[in-house]
């Protein structure tokens, strides 16, 4: 549908609940699944309708919710429900900040993260097709306990009322069609229906559902859109439900990528956040978690046992048993196993970061290698350079962090320390075991270690009563016998 076809006058998102069952100092709406808050999922679905106004009704932990809202939907309005007097009161608070109630007003919930924007579009489309006063999203559940029941009129076509669980008769409690708490209202019907509400119910609250009775009494139609996908109507009230819905959403995300051409060897242990982008022919091995703005190009293999957060992976790259964040891995490059890529790492085409290597603010050129047992921080390594095992880029003197530069095709021997700021020029060598504090010019070999000195008789004098001296004496005796 086009934006003009789906645009509605307003969407009101109900997000004022206390969420006490979460047992958290953080608002329930800010807890996350698939890398996004519950509120963010709700707002994203609502934005499919291109509302002229979006109102989020806040209450409990309102400062947290409002601050988060400015990040995810800065154009949204907020309305404050000071006291929890029911859903009818919450919607009335939302209407109060709107300039007009003319047109279609959609009411949705802030804690149903699997609700899809396409579902809201279908709900609005049906509302327009029937010209109803109210259209309700419903679902049929095998166990409807806890939900309001849809009570239909004698003909069975329209809704006569929605009865909350607490107020149900035994006959009504047996009804399996439940109210999902998501509606499209004619603005005038909603305004007048809210004005007619009373607290004559088990909880002494203003029920939004009673607007249905008002609409029917005013001669307006009320129909439902029955949703087969019950998960879209599921809300989050505690951390068990948060995990359950998170697992289901991840299953859907993983399945969508597999159908788009991504190989996922073990979907049960693979987690992909909603913001991740994958190309066809990517392979994800078990126990892989891709988060944030991570993108993986065609032919790359990620995992097993790998977590990437905001990492860009090039075509044909291989990343094994690695944790990386805010990094770039070039095409054909290899990383791992047991590598730690910290923010600012950039690995060039066909470059290598090997086993037990930690990098930070390190730009490693095309074809350059940092194969194993190295800390590489605040560094620039030229194309084709090789960093030997156990090399330390000593970038911090306790006050200032400085940069080390290693030129193209240069070679740093194993167990060296490069004390920044220092430059190893193009085509230079550093001898193994060196502690380099001065620049090495092109074509030079830098050696920064003391001359070896062997002290005769030291073991006999200082360790004469040990097995070491016994072994040394036997070796000396054997050498003497051989010479004779």
Over 60: is that where the pLDDT of 4 sits?
Answer: no
Over 60: is that where the pLDDT of 212 sits?
Answer: yes
What span, in angstroms and rounded, lies between the C-alpha atoms of 113 and 405? 48
Q: DSSP character for 305? A: S
Q: State residue 1's pLDDT score.
A: 46
Element housing 428 (H / E): none
Q: Which of 89-103, 326-340, 404-418 has the lowest mean pLDDT?
A: 89-103
Q: State residue 130's pLDDT score.
A: 94
Beta strands, E only, 330-469:
334-335, 339-341, 346-347, 352-364, 369-381, 386-387, 392-394, 404-406, 411-412, 417-419, 422-424, 429-430, 435-436, 445-446
What span, in angstroms and rounded, lies between the C-alpha atoms of 385 and 412? 8
Which bin fits 464, alpha (ψ -120 to 50), beta or left (φ > 0)?
A: alpha
3-class secondary-structure state, position 85: coil
Over 90: is that where the pLDDT of 481 sits?
Answer: no
Over 90: is that where the pLDDT of 99 sits?
Answer: no
**Sequence ranges of the domains in the chain:** 3-233, 257-446
For domain 3-233, the CATH architecture is Alpha-Beta Complex (3.90)
What span, in angstroms and rounded, lies between the C-alpha atoms of 321 and 412? 26
CATH of 257-446, one of 2.160.10.10, 1.10.645.10, 3.30.460.10, 3.40.630.30: 2.160.10.10
Place 101 in a pLDDT band, splitting at 50, 70 and 90: confident
Place 200 in a pLDDT band, splitting at 50, 70 and 90: confident
Query: How do residues 345-378 score in pLDDT, each as one tens digit?
Result: 999 999 999 999 999 999 999 999 999 999 999 9
Element housing 481 (H / E): helix 467-483
Determine whether 440 is exposed, middle or buried from the number of CB atoms within 10 Å of its CB (0-12, 13-18, 19+). buried
Q: State residue 479's pLDDT score.
A: 84
Query: How do residues 385-408 score in pLDDT, each as one tens digit?
Result: 999 999 999 999 999 999 999 999
- End-to-end Cα spacing for the chain: 100
- The mean per-residue pLDDT over the stretch 446-465 comes to 92
Helices (H), 103-238: 117-130, 170-173, 187-195, 211-217
Q: Tokens 């559940």 — which residue? A: 141
Place 61 in a pLDDT band, splitting at 50, 70 and 90: very high
- The mean per-residue pLDDT over the stretch 197-208 comes to 84
- The mean per-residue pLDDT over the stretch 203-230 comes to 93
Strands 32-33 and 288-291: unpaired
Over 80: is that where the pLDDT of 190 sits?
Answer: yes
What is the pTM (predicted TM-score) of this model?
Answer: 0.90
| Mean predicted lDDT score pLDDT of the chain | 95
Domains 3-233 and 257-446 in one fold = no
Residue length of the chain: 484
Give long-range contacts, CB 8 A cutoff, 24+ apart: 412-417: 412/385, 412/386, 412/387, 412/388, 413/388, 414/388, 414/389, 414/390, 415/388, 415/389, 415/390, 415/391, 416/388, 416/390, 416/391, 416/392, 417/391, 417/392
Q: DSSP character for 166? A: G
Q: State residue 353's pLDDT score.
A: 98
Over 80: is that where the pLDDT of 3 sits?
Answer: no
Tell me the HSE value of 222 on the side-chain side, using a 13 A CA sphere: 29
Q: DSSP character for 6? A: H
The CA-based angle 470-472-473, given to 5 degrees, is 65
In the chain, the largest separation of any two C-alpha atoms, in whole Å, equals 122
Active site residue ranges = 372
Element housing 296 (H / E): strand 295-296
Place 484 in a pLDDT band, splitting at 50, 70 and 90: low
CB 418 within 8 A of CB 393: yes
> How many CB atoms lie under 10 A from the CB of residue 169?
10
- The mean per-residue pLDDT over the stretch 270-288 comes to 98
Question: Any bridge partners for residue 302, and if so which?
Answer: 284, 319
């Amino acid at each position: 549908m086009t934006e003009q076809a789906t645009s509605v006058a307003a969407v009101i998102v109900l997000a004022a609940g206390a969420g006490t069952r979460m047992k958290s100092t953080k608002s329930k709406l800010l807890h996350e699944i698939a890398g996004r808050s519950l509120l963010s999922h709700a707002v994203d679905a609502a934005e499919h309708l291109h509302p002229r106004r979006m109102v989020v009704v806040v209450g409990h932990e309102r400062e947290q919710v409002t601050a988060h809202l400015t990040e995810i939907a800065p154009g949204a309005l907020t309305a404050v429900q000071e006291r929890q007097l029911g859903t009818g009161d919450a919607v009335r608070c939302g209407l109060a900040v709107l300039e007009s109630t003319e047109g279609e007003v959609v009411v949705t919930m802030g804690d149903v993260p699997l609700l899809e924007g396409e579902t809201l579009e279908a709900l609005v489309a049906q509302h327009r097709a029937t010209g109803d006063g109210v259209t309700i999203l419903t679902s049929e559940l095998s166990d409807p306990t806890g939900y309001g029941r849809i009570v239909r009129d004698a003909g069975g076509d329209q809704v006569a009322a929605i009865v909350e669980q607490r107020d149900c008769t035994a006959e009504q409690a047996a009804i399996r069609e439940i109210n999902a708490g998501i509606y499209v209202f004619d603005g005038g019907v909603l305004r007048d229906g809210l004005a007619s509400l009373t607290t004559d119910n088990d909880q002494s609250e203003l029920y939004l559902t009673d607007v249905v009775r008002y609409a029917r009494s005013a001669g307006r139609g009320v129909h439902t859109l029955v949703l087969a996908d019950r998960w879209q109507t599921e809300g989050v009230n505690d951390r068990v439900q948060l995990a359950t819905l998170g697992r289901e959403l991840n299953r859907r995300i993983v399945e969508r990528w597999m159908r788009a051409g991504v190989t996922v060897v073990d979907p049960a242990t693979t987690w992909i956040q909603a913001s991740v982008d994958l190309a066809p022919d990517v392979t994800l091995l078990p126990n892989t978690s891709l988060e944030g703005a991570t993108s993986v190009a065609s032919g790359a293999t990620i995992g097993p046992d790998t977590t990437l957060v905001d990492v860009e992976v090039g075509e044909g790259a291989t990343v094994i048993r690695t944790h990386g964040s805010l990094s770039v891995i070039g095409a054909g490059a290899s990383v791992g196993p047991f590598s730690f890529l910290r923010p600012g790492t950039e690995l060039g085409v066909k470059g290598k970061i090997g086993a037990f290597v930690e990098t930070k603010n390190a730009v490693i050129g095309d074809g350059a290698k940092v194969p194993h047992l190295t800390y590489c921080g605040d560094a620039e390594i030229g194309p084709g350079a090789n960093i030997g095992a156990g090399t330390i880029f000593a970038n911090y003197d306790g006050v200032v962090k400085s940069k080390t530069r290693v030129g193209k095709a240069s070679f740093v021997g194993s167990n060296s320390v490069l004390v920044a700021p220092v430059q190893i020029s193009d085509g230079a060598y550093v001898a193994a075991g060196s502690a380099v504090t001065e620049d090495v010019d092109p074509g030079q070999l830098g050696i920064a270690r003391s001359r070896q000195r062997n002290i005769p008789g030291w073991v006999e004098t200082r360790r004469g009563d040990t097995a070491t001296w016994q072994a040394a004496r036997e070796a000396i005796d054997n050498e003497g016998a051989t010479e004779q």
